Structure 1
C-alpha cells in the first residue's frame, strides 16, 4: 500500500509539532511512502531515508500550489493532507484523508477579510466533501467542523494530540539566561491568541509584583499576515518595556527549560482546536491559568485555573492568587499523571492508523 503526505507545514508551530510526532510511526506501517515538501528541511529527519521526497515549495493557500497538486501527487492508495488546504483538482489517490485542527478562519474571531474568509470556507468545504476520513483534534473542533462545513458526522474522527511527558518533566541543564521569577506565555502573536488581555491583566498588577515577576513572551513576533499590531503599542504606552521580555522563536529542545523555570504559565487564547501548551506546562509541573474558551477546558480539565478571556480583571486576580500559592496542590498532583496519559502520541498514532485501515478496507473490499 502506498501513502502520500503533504508535509509542507512540518516546521510550523502547532501543526508542525503534530506532523513531526506522528510521521515516524505512521510511515513504518506502509510499504511505500512519498512526502511532499522542502527536501532540505525533510532530510534533517532520520526517517527521511525511508521515504521518497517530492519537492513541493508552493505557498499554502496559493493558486499555484493547487494547480501543481495533481502533478506532484503520484498514484497512491491514500493521500493525506494534515491541513485543510486540500487539493481542489482531481488527484491520483484511491482514498483521501485530511486533518482539520480547527475552523478559526470561519468564525467571527478571525480578523481576515471577507474575501479570504470566503476562500477559506471554500477550502474547508472542499476538504470535508472529498476526504474519506477527517481527523480532528478535539470534540470541540468536531462540533465546529460539522457546524460550519456540514461535514458528514461519521467521517469525522477525534484524535487527540499527544504530549511527550518525559521530555517536559525531566529537568534540563541549560545555559539559557532567564529571569529568576517570571510569568510565561508561549504562542504566536495573533489577535485570536488574545495576548492583549494578558498584557492588560499584567499591567494592573501592583508595582512590586511586576518588579519581581517579568512577563516572558515566547513565540514569533513578526511576519504574520494577521499579526496583532496593538501589542507593541500597548507595551510602549504603558511603559512596560522593562517588565516584558520577547524571546522570539526558540528551538523545540529548549521548551522544557522555559516551562520548568516559569512561576506560572498563562494561555489567554480566544480560539484553539486543541491547546498543546497547556499539556506541556502541566507535564513540566508548572501551574496553568487558561482561557475558558473553545477546546481549552476539554484539554486542561480540572487541573487548570480558568478565566473569562474577555475579563482582564478576573485574569489579574487569578494570577495574584496563584502567585500567592505556588505549585500544585495534592489533589492536582495526584490526578496529573492520569490526565496526561490520555494524551500520548502513541494513542494518537494508533487512531490515525485505524482511520487509514478503515478506508483501505474499502479499497480491498472492492
Structure 2
C-alpha cells in the first residue's frame, strides 16, 4: 500500500471536502482488511498510527535482479531528456519535499542549469501534479530545464538509474531505501 495521508496534510485538506472524503473512503476501505503490506518502514509506521490493531508487514527489501549495470552505449528513447540529468523518483506527497528540490534546482547558477535537466518521475494519479508544475514556474524554470514523467517500465528505470548524473532523496521523513538500493545496483561505479 502507498503511504496514507499524514496528520499535518489531513489538517490542511479538512477544508477541501473532495480530498477529505477521499481520505475517509481510503481509511474505511483499509480498515476492513486484516493484513496490510507496507512498502517502507515509514509507511508501516504511518499505517500502524491509523490502524494500531492491524497486522502490517513491511515488504521492502533488495532490488530485483533487473537492476544491474547497463552498457554505456545502451540507448532508450527519451526525447525530452536532452542533456545530463538529476533524477528524482517517487511520490509528490508533501513529506517527500519535492517542492524544495525544485526550488533548489531553480537557485543553481545559470551555467549549472544549462548543463543539467531535473527529471521527476511520479505517479500519474497523484493529485499534486498541477501544484508541482506551478512550482517549476515559480522557481523560474523553463520547460526545457525539467522533465516530468510518469512511472516507467523496469527497463526504462534501469536506464535512468544508470545514466543520471545525480539521484536525489529530498524526503524529510520517508524512507528511500528501495530507490537507493536500485540506484546503487544499476550504477556502473559506486
TM-score surpassing 0.5? yes
SS of match in other structure, 2:43: helix
For residues 139-169 of structure 1, the C-alpha deviation after alignment (integer angstroms, 9 at most, x for no partner) is: 43333222222325xx3333325421x4222
Q: Which residue of 2 aligns with 1:140?
A: 42
Distance 1:240 1:131 in 2: 44
1:317-332 to 2 correspondence within 5 Å?
Answer: 328=190
Greater Cα offset, 193-202 or 117-126: 117-126
Once the 2 structures are TM-superposed, how far is the Cα of residue 132 of structure 1 from its aligned partner?
Answer: 3.7
Once the 2 structures are TM-superposed, how far is the Cα of residue 205 of structure 1 from its aligned partner?
Answer: 1.8
Change (3 A) 1:250 1:145: closer
Aligned residues: 182
Once the 2 structures are TM-superposed, how far is the Cα of residue 239 of structure 1 from its aligned partner?
Answer: 3.5
Once the 2 structures are TM-superposed, how far is the Cα of residue 217 of structure 1 from its aligned partner?
Answer: 2.5
Distance 1:217 1:194 in 2: 12
Distance 2:179 2:131 in 1: 23
SS of match in other structure, 1:160: coil
1:266-345 to 2 correspondence within 5 Å?
Answer: 266-270=168-172, 272=174, 276-285=178-187, 328=190
Give structure 1 stretches of 5+ with no counterpart.
Answer: 1-99, 287-326, 329-366
1:34-183 to 2 correspondence within 5 Å?
Answer: 100-103=1-4, 105-110=5-10, 112-113=13-14, 115=17, 116-117=19-20, 120-121=23-24, 123-124=26-27, 127-128=30-31, 130-152=32-54, 155-164=55-64, 166-171=65-70, 173-176=74-77, 177=79, 178-183=81-86
Distance 1:213 1:199 in 2: 13
Partner residue of 1:261 out of 156, 159, 163: 163
1:185 and 1:266 in contact (8 A); partners too:
yes
Change (3 A) 1:235 1:123: closer
Once the 2 structures are TM-superposed, how far is the Cα of residue 216 of structure 1 from its aligned partner?
Answer: 2.1
For residues 254-273 of structure 1, the C-alpha deviation after alignment (integer angstroms, 9 at most, x for no partner) is: 11111111111113235647
1:23-34 to 2 correspondence within 5 Å?
Answer: none
For residues 156-206 of structure 1, the C-alpha deviation after alignment (integer angstroms, 9 at most, x for no partner) is: 333325421x42223052242544422112235554543211111112222
Say whether residues 1:229 and 2:127 are aligned partners. Answer: no
State TM-score, norm by structure 1: 0.41
Say whether residues 1:248 and 2:149 are aligned partners. Answer: yes
Larger Rg: 1
Q: Which residue of 2 aligns with 1:207?
A: 110
Change (3 A) 1:274 1:245: closer
State TM-score, norm by structure 2: 0.72
For residues 294-335 of structure 1, the C-alpha deviation after alignment (integer angstroms, 9 at most, x for no partner) is: xxxxxxxxxxxxxxxxxxxxxxxxxxxxxxxxx63xxxxxxx
Distance 1:161 1:113 in 2: 35
RMSD (Å), alpha carbons? 3.4
By relative contact order (CA 8 Å, sep 6+), the higher-ranking structure is 2
Give structure 2 stretches of 5+ with no counterpart.
Answer: none
Change (3 A) 1:138 1:247: closer
Distance 1:136 1:237 in 2: 34
SS of match in other structure, 2:8: coil
Change (3 A) 1:284 1:270: same
Change (3 A) 1:185 1:160: closer
1:145 and 1:151 in contact (8 A); partners too:
no
